[in-house]
Chain A
Amino acid sequence: MSTITDPPEGSFRLSMLINDTRYRSMTFQAIAAIVLALSFWYLGNNLIQNLRQAGLNISYSFLGSPAGYDINQSLIEYDSQSSHSRAAIVGILNTLLVAFMACITATVFGVLAGVLRLSKNWLVSKLMAVYVEIFRNIPVLIWIIIIFTIMTAVMPAPRAFRGDDPAASMLFNAFAVTNRGIYIPAPVWGPGSIVVVLTFIASIVGIFFFRRYATKMLFDTGRLLPTFWPSVGLFFIPTILMHFIMGQPVSLDYPVLGGFNFSGGLQLGAPLIALWFALSIYTGAFIAENVRAGIQAVSKGQSEAAGALGLRPGRIMSLVVLPQALRVIIPPLISQYLNITKNSSLAIAVGYADVTATLGGITLNQTGRAIECVLLLMLFYLTISLTISAVMNVYNNSVKLKER
C-alpha cells in the first residue's frame, strides 16, 4: 500500500487564483491594474467634463504669446514683450542661480558649524548647538521672510547715502547695502579680456596638474613637495601678469549714487539675498548635524592611530578623519542639496522671480492655464531632482568603501 498520491493534474479551479501562490500574485496585479485604470478613467472623465463645462481645453500655445510683465532680476535678455516661455526660462535660470549659490554657502556654514560643534571648547560647541536647534526648528519660510524684512525694513534707503553727512555709507566705496538690495561692482569685459580669462582657466588646470604631480612624487619617492603656496601663486600671479600685459582689459564698474537710486554695478535684489541667505543658514543647520554625525561615525581609534604616527591635528582631520567621514556625510548632503533646490520655490513668498513665481505665479494667473503651468512646473523640478540625485549617486559610488 502506498501513501504517495499524485499531485493534482491540470484541473484548474477558480479558487486557485486566490489560494495558489503560483497564480495569486497575478490575480492581485490584475486587480491592481483594473483599479488603476478605473481611477485614471474616473479622474480623466471628471477632468474632461469640468473642462468642457468651463469652456477650457488643454493647450500649450500660450507659451508663445507675449508675457506682458516685467522681471526685475534676469540673467538673460528679457522684457515684457518676450514670450511666456522666455519668462519661464528666466525663472528656471533664477532658480538654478539661487539654488547653486545656496548650496555652496550652506555647505560652508554647515561644515563650519558641524566641526565647531565637536570642538573641545565648551562655549563654542554650545553656541553651535544653539544655532543648529534654533534654525532647524523654525520653518524656512519664516526665516526667508525675517531676512527679507531685515533687508527691506532695516537697511537704509538709497537717499540715506546722499548729502554731506550721510546716514549710511558705502563699504570701501564699492558695496552699498540698501533696502532695494545690495550693489556690488560689476566686472566689465573689455577687448582682450578673453586672454585673461583663458590664462585664469589655464592656471587652474595647472594647479590641478601640479597637485597630481606632487601626490605622485610623494608616493614614488616619499618627497613631500609644498603645495599650498605654489597653488596660491599659480592661482593669482599668471592672471594678474596677463591682466597688466594686455593693458588692463578687465575693469570694475562701481555702483554710484545718482538720482533716486544707485546706478551701475551689479544689483543683488533684496528677494535674492533673503532667499539665498535664509536657505543657506537653514540648510546649513541640517548639514551641520550631518557633518557631526559623519565625523562621530569615524571610530576614535583612527584619529588616535594617526596621532601615534605623528600627524598634526590639521592633517589628522584632512587626511584621516574627513575622507572616512565623507562617505557617511555625502548621501544626506545630496538630499540637503535637493531640499535647497525644492525650497527655492518659496521665492514666490518674497517676489523673487524663480520658475515658481513666473511660470507658476504670474503666467498662471494671467493665462488661467492652471493645469498646463503646474504640470510644466512639476516636470522641471522632477527633472532637476532626478538629475542631481543621479549625478550625486555617481559621485557617491566613486567614494564608496570598496568592499571585497
Chain B
Amino acid sequence: MTDTSQSVAFVRTATIPPSPPPAMETGAVKWMRENLFSSIPYSILTLVSLYVIFVILSGVLPWIFNGVWNASNLAECREILDGATGACFAVLKERWPQLIFGLSYPAEEYWRPGLAFLLLFFAAAPVMFFDLPRKMLIITLLYPFIAYWLLWGGTIFVPILALVGVVAGYMVYQRLVAGSFAAGFFGGVATAFVIWYIGGLLIPEGASENALLVPVASRDMGGFMLNMMLGVTCVSLSIPIGIVLALGRQSSMPLIKWICVVFIEFIRGVPLITLLFVASVMLAYFFPPESSVDLFLRVVIMITMFSAAYIAEVIRGGLAALPKGQYEAADSLGLDYPQAMRLIILPQALKISIPGIVNIAVGLFKDTVLVSVISMFDILGMIRGPILSTTAWNGVYWELLGFASLLFFVTCYGISQYSQWLERRLATDHR
C-alpha cells in the first residue's frame, strides 16, 4: 500500500457550511414569485385583483367602522354622521326583536323561542357528531315535543299526548316487527292514532286558557325564527318521506313506481313559489269545509313535499351507486325486503347521499325566504314590510339586507363546512 497523502495538494477536512439560498428563492419572496407573479399575465391578474379588493374594502370598511349604533331614526343617524360615510346599525339595535321574532310575538315570551333555539343544538348534536354518548339521542327524540310546547305554548297535555302516542306506537312496533315489518309499522301507526284520538277527547275544552305558557298563534311568529322553524321542520320531515319515495321509485311494482315518479317529477318541475301559492290560496279548498288549517301548517306541507322530492332524487342516486352485489348478498342471506333495506342497503346508501342531502337542506333553508312573497313575515318580509315602510327607517336598505345576508351566510356556510367534515369522516372506502 502506497502512501498517497503526500501527492494530494489539498484535501478539505471539514464540510463547507451550507450557504443561504438566494434571496429570490426563499421565504415570502419565493412564495410571491411562485404564486402571484409567476409570469406577466399572472402579474397583471394579481394587480387587477388587488385593485378590486382595494376598491371593495375601501368602500365597505369605513362604512362598517363608522357605523352609528345609537339613534332612534334615520334622520338622527344622518345628523350624527354629519355627511361622513357610515352605516346606520341603530336600526338593527332598535328592531332586533322584530327581525328575530317577528312583529307580534309577545315580548315577555321571547325567552321561549330563545330556549328552543338553544335546545336545538343539544338535539342536533348527537345526530351530527357520532362520538357523543348515544344517550343524548333522548334529547333529540324529546325535542320536537318540547320545542312545540315552547313555541306555541298552550296546554302541556297536547305535546305529552303526542309523545305518549309515539311511545305506544313504538312499543307496538317492537312487539310486532319480529313477525313482519308491515304488521309492526301499520300496527304502530294505528296505535298512535287511536291514542291521539282518545286523548283528544280527554283534553278538556279551554285547557289552553290559563296554561303555564301563554298560547301564541302561528300568525304571530315571524322574523328569522320563522325561517329556522320552517327549515328545521321541513328538512326533518322530508328525509323519511324522501327515503320512502326513493324506495318507491326503485320498486318493481309498476303502480307504486309510477305514483312516485309522477310525484317527484311534478314537484321538481314547478318552482317552489307556485307550491307556496298552492299553500296560500288553493290548499284550503282541499281540507274539509269546517276545518281551518293555519297558513304555517299549509306552508310546511308544501315545502316538505318540495324538499322530499329533491331528497328522494339524491337518495335514489345513493341507492343506484351501491354495488349490485350488496342487494344480491342481502337476498342470499335470506333477508326479506324490509330487513334487507334496513340492515344492508339504506345504511350504505344514506351514507353516500349525505352530502347531497345536506346540499338540499341548505338550499331549502335559503328558500324559506320565499314565504315573504305570500305575505308571511319572515326576516325578509319583516325588512321589506314593517321596517322599511316606517318613516323612521325608510331608506336603510344596506344595513338590513346585509344583516339578513349575514345570518344566512353564517348558517349555510356552517352547514356546508360540516357536510365536508362529515364526508371526510365517513370516507371508509378502503383505497
Contacts and interface: CB of A to CB of B under 8 A. Distances in A.
Nearest to A369: B281
Contacts of A153: 395, 397
B270 A137 contact: no
Interface stretch (B8-16, B38-46, B101-109, B154-162): B38-46
Interface string A21-34: 00001001100110
Given A122-B35, A142-B380, A345-B271, A377 B277 contact: yes
Interface in B253-289: 253-256, 259, 265-266, 268-274, 277-278, 281-282, 284-289
Contacts of B404: 142
Contacts of A51: 285
A149 B281 contact: no
Given A33-B255, A36-B259, A141-B372, A374 B278 contact: yes
A360 interface: yes
B26 interface: no
Nearest to B37: A121
A29 B258 CA distance: 11
A137 B416 contact: yes
Contacts of B380: 139, 141-142, 145
Nearest to B288: A46
Contacts of B409: 134, 137-138
A178 B228 CA distance: 38
Interface stretch (B62-70, B82-90, B217-225, B363-371): B363-371
Contacts of B272: 342
A381 B269 contact: yes
B320 interface: no
B282 A53 contact: no
Contacts of A377: 270, 274, 277
A47 B285 CA distance: 5
B49 interface: yes
Contacts of B256: 28-29, 32
A141 B287 CA distance: 31
Interface residues of A, number: 51
A370 B38 CA distance: 62
A198 interface: no
Contacts of A382: 266, 269-270
Given A137-B409, A346-B370, A381-B270, A122 B287 contact: no
Contact of B35 (A28, A120, A356, A385): A120
Contacts of B408: 137-139, 142
Contacts of A374: 274, 277-278, 281-282
Nearest to B410: A137
Nearest to B407: A138
Contact of A142 (B53, B265, B289, B401): B401
B32 to A, nearest CB: 9
B49 to A, nearest CB: 5
Contact of A137 (B38, B49, B413): B413
A36 B256 CA distance: 10
Contacts of B285: 46-47, 50-51, 370-371
Contacts of B42: 119-121
A378 to B, nearest CB: 5
A371 B269 contact: no
Interface string A343-378: 101101100000010001000100000110010011
A292 to B, nearest CB: 15
B314 to A, nearest CB: 12
B286 A127 contact: no
A346 B270 contact: no
A141 B369 contact: yes
B400 to A, nearest CB: 10
B282 A371 contact: yes
B366 to A, nearest CB: 4
B298 interface: no
Interface string B3-47: 000000000000000000000000000000001101000100110
B423 to A, nearest CB: 14
A246 interface: no
Interface in B297-315: none
Contacts of A119: 42, 45
A121 B255 contact: no
A275 to B, nearest CB: 13
Interface in A11-56: 25, 28-29, 32-33, 36, 43, 46-47, 49-51, 53
B274 A381 contact: yes
B52 interface: yes
A95 to B, nearest CB: 10
Nearest to A49: B289
A342 B306 CA distance: 13
A165 to B, nearest CB: 21
B252 interface: yes
Contacts of A141: 369-370, 372-373, 380
B52 A343 contact: no
Given A146-B401, A382-B269, A29 B274 contact: no
A386 interface: yes
A25 B278 CA distance: 34
Contacts of A381: 269-271, 274
Interface string A367-403: 0001100100110011001100000000000000000
B401 A29 contact: no
B167 interface: no
A71 interface: no
A186 interface: no
B286 A25 contact: no
Contacts of B270: 342, 377-378, 381-382, 385
A70 interface: no
A183 B274 CA distance: 32
Contacts of A124: 45-46, 49
Contact of A28 (B46, B253, B287): B253
B46 A138 contact: no
A140 interface: yes
A277 to B, nearest CB: 15
A133 to B, nearest CB: 6
B215 to A, nearest CB: 27
B289 A53 contact: yes
A232 interface: no
A390 to B, nearest CB: 12
B384 interface: yes
B369 A149 contact: no
Contacts of A378: 266, 270, 274
A294 B253 CA distance: 36
B387 to A, nearest CB: 13
Given A29-B256, A46-B288, A374-B277, 18 more contacts: A29-B255, A32-B255, A50-B284, A121-B36, A121-B38, A121-B49, A122-B35, A123-B50, A124-B49, A127-B49, A138-B409, A141-B373, A343-B271, A360-B273, A364-B281, A371-B282, A385-B269, A386-B265
The 3 closest A-B pairs by CB, nearest first: A342-B271, A122-B35, A385-B269
26 contacts: A29-B256, A33-B255, A46-B289, A120-B38, A121-B46, A122-B36, A123-B46, A123-B50, A127-B49, A127-B52, A133-B413, A134-B409, A137-B412, A137-B413, A142-B401, A145-B384, A146-B401, A149-B397, A349-B372, A356-B274, A370-B281, A370-B282, A374-B274, A381-B271, A382-B269, A386-B269
